[in-house]
Amino acid sequence: LTEHESGTDQHTKTCPSCAEQIQAEALVCRFCGYDYKTQGMPGSSSTSTSGLAIASMVLGILWIWWIGSVLAVIFGHVALNQIKQSDGARGGRGMAIAGLVLGYIGVATLILFVLVPLLAL
Ligand SMILES: [Zn+2]
C-alpha cells in the first residue's frame, strides 16, 4: 500500500480499456465508452455467443454413437447456466436449447433401441 499515500484519489478507478482515470461510480468510461456492466466495448461484445452452446448443438447433430448426445445434454445445461448468469452478455440460448433437445432425443433412442431390446431378451 505505497501508492496514493496522500489519499486524495479514492474516488477514481483506472479504465481497463483505455487506462484513463475515471469516477469510481462510473458505469461507462467517459473517454472510450467502455461498459462496466457488460465488461466490454459498446456494441461489439454485448452478445458474444456461448462456445458451449455451439458445442452442445454440434454434438447433438453429430450424435457419434450417443457420445455426442450425452455431451450435448451436459454442455447444453452448462451453457444455459452460463448464459443465465451472464445477465444478457452471452448469447446462444436458442442453440443451447437445440443441443439439449437433440441430446435428449439421442438419449431417448439409446433407451428405446438399445436398453429396451436388451431387457426384453
Ligand atoms: Zn476508457
Position 97 pLDDT exceeds 90: yes
Q: What local confidence, expressed as pLDDT, does residue 47 receive?
A: 66
Q: Which three cell numbers stand for residue 95?
A: 442453440
Mean pLDDT score, 3-17? 72
Spacing, Cα 40 to ligand 1 middle (Å) = 10
Spacing, Cα 81 to ligand 1 middle (Å) = 30
Higher pLDDT, 57 or 37: 57
**Can you tell me the distance from the alpha carbon of 55 to that of 43, in angstroms, rounded to the nearest whole number?**
24
**Can you tell me the distance from the alpha carbon of 53 to that of 107, in angstroms, rounded to the nearest whole number?**
18
Provide φ and ψ at 28, rounded to 5°: -135, 135
Tell me the average pLDDT of the chain.
Answer: 86
This model's pTM is above 0.75: no
**Can you tell me the distance from the alpha carbon of 119 to that of 114, in angstroms, rounded to the nearest whole number?**
9
Spacing, Cα 21 to ligand 1 middle (Å) = 8
Q: What local confidence, expressed as pLDDT, does residue 42 receive?
A: 65
Spacing, Cα 22 to ligand 1 middle (Å) = 8
Q: Which three cell numbers stand for residue 30?
A: 467517459
Spacing, Cα 66 to ligand 1 middle (Å) = 48
- Rounded to a whole number of angstroms, the distance between the first and last alpha carbons of the chain is 74
Nearest one of 38, 58, 56 to 48, comparing CA atoms:
38
| Coarse DSSP helix, strand, coil percentages of the chain, rounded to the nearest 5 percent | 50, 10, 40
Nearest one of 24, 19, 20 to 8, comparing CA atoms:
24
Spacing, Cα 33 to ligand 1 middle (Å) = 6
Spacing, Cα 18 to ligand 1 middle (Å) = 4
